[in-house]
Amino acid sequence: MDVVVTGLGVLTPFGRGAERTFDALVAGRTAIGPITRFDASGHRSRIAAEVTDLEAGNDLPPGDERTFDRFQLMAVLAALDAARDAGLGDGPLGDRAAAIVGTGIGGLETIERNHATLAAKGPRRISPYFIPAAIPNLAAALVSMRLGARAICVSPASACASGAHSIGEALWALRVGRIDLALAGGTEAAVTPLGVAGFGAMRGLSERNDEPARASRPFDRGRDGFVIGEGAGILVLERADHAARRGARVRAILAGYGASADAYHITQPDPEAAGMARSMALALEDAGLAPADVGYVNAHATSTPLGDRLEAKAIRDVFGAKPPPVSSTKSALGHLLGAAGAVEAAIAILALERGMLPPTLNQEDPDPQIELDVVPNEARPHAARFAISNAFGFGGTNATLVFARP
């Protein structure tokens, strides 16, 4: 049984709405700038892709914006947009609808704020909402509650592959008939003092602080680390027969899912890129496709020296001497961590839908070790039937999704 995508909900630093983000990407805009959410003057990296407008309007009960963490609120807003895009309204969706929403870190801002309260005022001043606002599964739970989705409610946590794994796991549950519909994706809000300091201590972030728009440069020889971002992406997935019964518009087919583990290192990818390649190969096998069938790859490529080179190697290992066009939209959006795989899945779907490939920005000095067409600097018309989206994470966890035009 085919599984189809009937709704897209995306909230990024470009704003709310999948089309809004895609239009900005195609126009070559960037969402990266100086950090404004806190004083970052003492940090190695002082730039980020921030969500600056998180007004919920009438979408959330009064007080929820103050009670819950940003990563949870963004998930709910993206899920509501996805449900409306799918023609589902605001629920309730019932006993055979799932909420599968991953996150890499969870409520880091809430943890920091309550720790400061503990240190300054003592344990009796900690908010009773601290734990619910901090724990990762509350993103999925709040989506479930807001939309009345009463089937599987889980939150995969696989670092920067969380959103993609959530979509893939929903695919399997739909295929075996456990559910009819899923709201699946990822969310993250780790642009906080501790989040930025932690990634900075690992020397994972770009320190091109004086040129934020030019800082994220996947595949370029001058890349020096990723730019942290935040956001959420939710897809409505349905069994094709369920979508047909309600006359839903099909935006794409979720044709395949591959997942693998490097089993190598806590942060570095396998130096042979075997896990990344296996993830892509498994996804193509699951979709019943040959490598030559794929017309576009939305790469994980975060703008780190090692990761981009190894992903390029994996792509060539899978696709041979002439891979399809590859782009990394993190060049404009930054790295949304646990939300990245879901947001980029939506971008891949829109690339198929519109016949337009978003570019990889800041391609000024091509890395000679990366022999790929990275759609440099400008969007490109390109009709493709199939696209893949990669998401890889710390711990050597890998996920690949395959989408098809309906």
Q: Tell me, what's the pLDDT at 91?
A: 78
The yes-or-no answer on residue 153 being catalytic is no
List the catalytic residue out of 43, 165, 242, 300: 300
State the average pLDDT over residues 344-365: 98
Domain boundaries, the chain: 3-245, 256-404
165-224: per-residue pLDDT in tens?
999 999 999 999 999 999 999 999 999 999 999 999 999 999 999 999 999 999 999 999
Check residue 404 and give its pLDDT. 98
User: Is the pLDDT at 309 greater than 80, yes or no?
Assistant: yes
Please report how the helices 138-147 and 70-85 are oriented relative to each other, as an axis angle in degrees rounded to 10.
Answer: 40
Tokens 């094709």, residue? 240
Q: What topology is assigned to 3-245 in CATH?
A: Peroxisomal Thiolase; Chain A, domain 1 (3.40.47)
Catalytic residue among 43, 160, 165, 242: 160
Identical topology for domains 3-245 and 256-404: yes
Task: Tell me the percentage of the chain whose pLDDT exceeds 90.
Answer: 95
Rounded distance between C-alpha atoms, residue 285 and residue 258, angstroms: 8
Kindly report, residue by residue over 7-59, the tens digit of the pLDDT.
Answer: 999 999 999 999 999 999 999 999 999 999 999 999 999 999 999 988 777 78
115 is catalytic: no
pLDDT in tens, 252-303: 999 999 999 999 999 999 999 999 999 999 999 999 999 999 999 999 999 9
Scored b (16 or more CB within 10 A) or e, 108-124 reads: bbbbbbbeebeeeeeee
Catalytic residue flag (residue 300): yes
Q: Which CATH superfamily is domain 256-404 in?
A: Thiolase/Chalcone synthase (3.40.47.10)
Indicate which residue of 43, 165, 242, 335 is catalytic. 335
Instruction: Using the predicted structure, report yes or no on whether residue 400 has a pLDDT greater than 90.
Output: yes
Max alpha carbon distance in the chain (Å)? 63
Q: Is this model's pTM higher than 0.95 or not?
A: yes
